[in-house]
Amino acid sequence: MYRKGKKSYDVDRYCFRHEIEQMFGTSELEKIHKIEECDFGVLNMETDQTTKLHKNFYKKVRESNFLEEYKKFLREVIFPQFNEPLLYQKIPTFRVQVPNNLSVAEFHNDKSYSHSPEEVNIFLPITDAKETYTIWVESEENLGDYSPMNAEYGEYYIWDGANLNHGNKINQSDVSRFSVDFRVMPYSKYDDTNVKETVTTKTKLKLGSYFELMEVDDD
């Protein structure tokens, strides 16, 4: 059975940063706010997935090798931590947190936004993510004792974003944070009798739409 917490992986084998750099045309992702137009105001529910940077990512991700690296990471790193077929988010969610801004609009738990409480979250920073430029999460449901999920590039978290409240503080540093996050769920926990849809894109949270299935004999 998988264990929650911070883990590490080989950045030379899974070249996430290189692919993101190619998408944005820079090797200085932490300074993206000085390179791109980032004057989009403090992000809210309508804008935290629709800025120019987000649109650039979602447009280019299918043209890059990022999704191949993502599936390789899932197959070789995440999947072995579960003992059964696994549903995984087809397209990971892109996050960017520039100075004096947020990455997500409000503190929340994912089950309040249509997601199953059986989902498992993975937070995968593409740059360092620390203190005011990372996710803050409570240790137990409804406890409210928020602390930062500090990580360097090459580290990731498996955690319970479906049930634990989490969010951001205003980034008080002079660097930008890039990350992706995604959800997986043991196939045995999947219930297709009460399928809901995501709040922002109205995507059905079902196999073949939001999720794909990974099994033991997947190539």
3-state secondary structure 88-154: EECCCEEEEECCCCCCCCCCECHHHHCCCCCCEEEEEECCCECHHHCCEECCCCCCCCCEECCECCC
Q: Does residue 33 belong to any structural domain of this protein?
A: yes
What's the pLDDT band for 219 if we cut at 50, 70, 90? low
Residue 71 CA from chain centroid, whole number: 14
Q: Does residue 25 belong to any structural domain of this protein?
A: yes
CA nearest neighbour of 137 among 104, 167, 115: 167
pLDDT of residue 216 exceeding 90, the answer is no
Q: How far is CA 135 from CA 105, 120, 141, in A?
A: 12, 16, 16
The tens digit of pLDDT for each residue in 112-144 reads 999 999 999 999 999 999 999 999 999 999 999
AA letter at 128: D
Give residue 47's domain range.
Answer: 5-214
DSSP one-letter code for 77? I
Q: Distance (Å, rounded) from C-alpha 168 to C-alpha 22? A: 27
Q: Does residue 219 belong to any structural domain of this protein?
A: no
Instruction: Give percent above pLDDT 90 in the chain.
Output: 89
Q: Distance (Å, rounded) from C-alpha 182 to C-alpha 212? A: 12
Q: Does residue 95 belong to any structural domain of this protein?
A: yes
Mean pLDDT on 60-87 = 96
> Which CATH number do you get for residue 23?
2.60.120.10
Mean pLDDT on 178-202 = 91
Give 2's Cβ-side CA count (13 Å radius): 24
Q: Does residue 182 belong to any structural domain of this protein?
A: yes
Domain count, the chain: 1
The tens digit of pLDDT for each residue in 137-174 reads 999 999 999 999 999 999 999 999 999 999 999 999 99
Is the Cα torsion angle 28, 47, 124, 106 positive or negative in sign?
positive
Q: Does residue 97 belong to any structural domain of this protein?
A: yes
